[in-house]
Structure 1
Amino acid sequence: MTPSQVALAWTLLNPGVTAPIVGARTPAQLEDNLGALDVRFTGAQLATLAEASEVELGFPHEFLRRPMARGVVSGAVTLDTAR
């Protein structure tokens, strides 16, 4: 299993991807890339790939996960402005 096969096979498992881009310039590269169709991952391998590709979104995403921020955004929290 080559790195390009792993990358393409993992991309094919993503429901948001309709067609991964194959960047083959030679017939040998194309043949290697097509080998991705035969790659099968174990659960542990998928977990490792998911962990390695996890992206920290940072601000404002982390801020918006807070209950107070979610409440203000959704209208569940009101502010007393009478003071």
Structure 2
Amino acid sequence: MSLEPLKAARKKTIGAKQTLKAVEKSQAKEVYWASDAEHRVVDPILRICSSKNIPVIKVETMKELGRACNIEVGCAIAAITEH
């Protein structure tokens, strides 16, 4: 799946805490998660996404997701809150 929508998003969350808040408040439009992230970090968020029918997109690596978010470090999970 392409990371272009995440790169082009006007507003996004980066990291587990911010993304969890956005998902709980139903502000997240799409959630991107890295397959090499720790499952204890991303699984609870993915479960909530499933129950709220928020689309989730799997990304291969945390490094790739971090780059798409314009940060220098890896990122476990991120979300688009405004296209």
Higher relative contact order by CA 8 Å / sep ≥ 6: 1 or 2?
A: 2
TM-score, scaled to structure 1: 0.26
Larger radius of gyration: 1
Q: Which has the higher helix share?
A: 1
Q: Which has the higher strand share?
A: 2
TM-score, scaled to structure 2: 0.26
